[in-house]
């Protein structure tokens, strides 16, 4: 099963730790679509043939088969093999006009006139994992905060204008369940102005598509928690034990995302659960190499960056990368007297530059170095700091849980609190306001 030593800072409390891990496994296992009961999965054949023509790198021509049944015949130490891309070729830095104001530095302002931007119960696509009010959360203050940058204002959210930007386009979120939360947020932000018979949600385990006919536009979500091909690419049936990735191929996902006009990527939490096994494309005998999570994430990020860099469509296409979403598992990090976590928190952290241990700085530096080399080909949505303040924004116990909770768990709510995902309406709406700001 999942490595127990991941959550290093929890060593002091083994019982809680194990409960938490079981919970994590559980969240991962159910992280997609279980709650969207309206859907019946139809497993389309991936359009591998027709999509091939769009792929920029000819070395992607061989679809790499890796799935949850993949096994390593043996495992060796990491050989040091790298992903080659334009390591030395630093692109021009972002222009001064883009740097004018750092919209990611600022503070949360209580503003119940402008927020929330939609009503939880009026969004038919809301997820039961994120609908906190529906699941019993009584204080709704988490819905009323507006993000206020220090030196300027965010572009004012405008549904009609956003639809105009999306007209005739495919916007695709690619990543894990946090990215999926942002996708649901955007669908909820935008769906109300489209008549019910002019919109649709077509589920398809790997790729889910929200379409709005009038605008000939779609807002899609592609499950790719590790960006590259892996044994965790089935959104419902993941393999939860060993993570096995193809460090040098994102073929499965790329064949879907290659036609999108606007791409929003994320990846992080899935790399935080211990060592990862690498199964290189050229390896024919199933021999894996083992590497720590951050090292493996770096290989995956470079494979992704290589695609972004070589994408000859980048004049028409916009690519965004969303930085790590913070977690609030350890109350003592913002309140030394606390034994708990995000459960019961109903106010943002006010300490300037507060940064919790869940957001790994070396990982951030690695990501920043890669993104810097992509220059203007990628726009960074640096949501980490602003979301760090929002210990009040998580579902904690106010979401649908898929397993039956034991009396022992129920008597100690923090033991099964979800302090990873975010309630909607809430923090991910602001990530989308930032997306709108830069689009
Ligand atoms: C907004 O919040 C203030 C202060 O908490 C309260 O007095 C007011 O009734 C609220 N307004 C709305 C529209 O909820
Ligand atoms: C709808 O958008 C697609 C691109 O997503 C485009 O190829 C197609 O021509 C558009 N159709 C109309 C009727 O505008
Ligand atoms: C995001 O912002 C933080 C400061 O809040 C900074 O340390 C980090 O390097 C930034 N990350 C990226 C990828 O720009």
Render pLDDT for 136-156 as a digit per residue (tens, 0 to 9). 999 999 999 999 999 999 999
Is 59 within the bounds of a domain? no
Report pLDDT for 94. 55
Question: Contacts by 330-337 with C-beta closer than 8 Å and gap 24+?
Answer: 330/9, 330/10, 330/356, 330/357, 333/357, 334/391
The CA 329 to ligand 3 mean position distance, Å, reads 21
Biggest alpha carbon–alpha carbon distance for the chain: 61
Is 124 within the bounds of a domain? yes
Q: Of 177, 185, 325, 396, which one is the catalytic site residue?
A: 177
Q: DSSP letters of 177-227? A: HHHHHHHHHHHHHHHTTS-GGGEEEE--TTEEEEEEGGGTEEEEEEE-TTS
Report pLDDT for 98. 56
Report pLDDT for 314. 65
> Is residue 230 annotated as a catalytic residue, yes or no?
no
Report pLDDT for 85. 84
Nearest to 348 by CA among 141, 185, 181: 141
Protein residue closest via CA to atom 2 of ligand 2: 168
Protein residue closest via CA to atom 8 of ligand 3: 364
Nearest ligand, CA 169: 2
Q: Which residues pair with 322 in a beta bridge?
A: 381
- Total structural domains within the chain: 1
Is 45 within the bounds of a domain? no
As given in the structure block, the two tokens for residue 419 are 């302090």
Which range of residues forms the domain containing residue 275? 76-438
Q: How far is CA 122 from the centre of its chain?
A: 24
Is 254 within the bounds of a domain? yes
Cα separation of 279 and 69, whole Å? 13
Report pLDDT for 88. 55
Nearest to 142 by CA among 130, 154, 150: 130
What value does the CA radius of gyration of the chain take, rounded to a whole number of Å?
Answer: 21
Residues at CB less than 6 angstroms from ligand 3: 323, 364, 367-368, 371, 380, 382, 384-385
> Is residue 421 annotated as a catalytic residue, yes or no?
yes
The CA 255 to ligand 1 mean position distance, Å, reads 49
Q: Using a 6 Å cutoff on CB, does residue 167 contact ligand 2?
A: no
Nearest ligand, CA 145: 1
Report pLDDT for 227. 97
Contact 226, 243 (CB under 8 A): yes
Report pLDDT for 95. 54
Protein residue closest via CA to atom 5 of ligand 2: 169
Render pLDDT for 63-82 as a digit per residue (tens, 0 to 9). 458 888 888 999 999 999 99
The CA 106 to ligand 3 mean position distance, Å, reads 13
Report pLDDT for 29. 39
Say how many C-beta atoms besides its own lie within 10 A of residue 295's C-beta.
17
CA distance between the termini of the chain:
41
- 10-residue mean pLDDT profile of the chain (439 residues): values are 33 43 43 31 29 36 70 93 76 58 96 96 95 96 97 95 97 97 98 94 89 97 96 81 91 94 97 94 92 97 95 85 97 94 96 96 96 93 98 96 87 93 98 97
Q: Using a 6 Å cutoff on CB, does residue 86 contact ligand 2?
A: no
Taking the CA atoms of residue 333, residue 335, residue 340 and residue 344 in that order, the dihedral angle to the nearest 10 degrees is: -120
Is 285 within the bounds of a domain? yes
Q: Which residues pair with 210 in a beta bridge?
A: 201, 219
Is 56 within the bounds of a domain? no
> Is residue 311 annotated as a catalytic residue, yes or no?
no
Is 385 within the bounds of a domain? yes
Report pLDDT for 93. 57
The CA 252 to ligand 3 mean position distance, Å, reads 30
Is 24 within the bounds of a domain? no
Report pLDDT for 132. 97
């Amino acid at each position: 099963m999942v490595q127990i030593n991941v959550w290093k800072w929890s060593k002091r409390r083994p019982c809680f730790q194990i409960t938490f891990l079981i919970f994590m496994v559980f969240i991962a296992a159910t992280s997609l679509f279980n709650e969207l009961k309206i859907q019946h999965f139809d497993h389309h054949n991936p359009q591998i043939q027709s999509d091939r023509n769009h792929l920029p790198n000819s070395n992607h021509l061989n679809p790499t088969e890796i799935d949850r049944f993949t096994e390593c015949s043996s495992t060796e130490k990491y050989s040091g093999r790298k992903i080659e891309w334009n390591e030395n070729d630093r692109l021009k830095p972002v222009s001064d006009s883009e740097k004018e104001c750092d919209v990611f530095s600022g503070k949360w302002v209580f503003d119940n006139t402008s927020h929330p931007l939609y009503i939880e119960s009026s969004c038919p696509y809301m997820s039961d994992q994120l609908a906190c009010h529906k699941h019993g959360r009584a204080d709704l203050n988490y819905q009323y905060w507006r993000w206020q940058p220090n030196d300027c204002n965010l572009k004012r959210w405008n549904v009609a204008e956003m639809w105009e930007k999306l007209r005739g386009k495919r916007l695709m979120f690619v990543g894990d369940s946090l990215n999926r939360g942002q996708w649901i947020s955007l669908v909820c932000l935008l769906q109300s102005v489209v008549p019910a018979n002019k919109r649709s949600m077509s589920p398809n385990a790997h790729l889910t598509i929200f379409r709005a006919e009038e605008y000939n536009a779609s807002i899609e979500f592609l499950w790719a928690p590790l960006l590259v091909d892996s044994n965790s690419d089935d959104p419902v049936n993941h393999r939860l034990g060993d993570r096995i990735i193809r460090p040098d191929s994102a073929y499965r996902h790329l064949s879907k995302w290659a036609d999108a006009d606007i791409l929003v990527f994320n990846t992080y939490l899935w790399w935080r659960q211990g060592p990862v096994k690498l199964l290189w494309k050229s390896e024919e005998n199933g021999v894996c190499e083992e590497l720590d999570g951050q090292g493996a994430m770096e290989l995956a990020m470079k494979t992704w960056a290589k695609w972004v860099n070589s994408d000859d469509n980048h004049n028409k296409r916009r690519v965004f990368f969303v930085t790590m979403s913070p977690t609030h598992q350890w109350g003592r990090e913002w309140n030394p007297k606390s034994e708990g976590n995000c459960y019961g928190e109903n106010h943002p952290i006010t300490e300037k530059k507060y940064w919790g241990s869940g957001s790994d700085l070396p990982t951030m530096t690695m990501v920043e170095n890669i993104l810097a080399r992509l220059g203007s080909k990628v726009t960074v949505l640096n949501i980490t700091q602003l979301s760090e303040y929002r210990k009040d924004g998580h579902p904690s116990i106010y979401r649908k849980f898929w397993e039956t909770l034991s009396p022992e768990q129920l008597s100690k709510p923090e033991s099964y609190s979800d302090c990873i995902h975010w309630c909607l309406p809430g923090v991910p709406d602001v990530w989308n306001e930032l997306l709108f700001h830069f689009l």
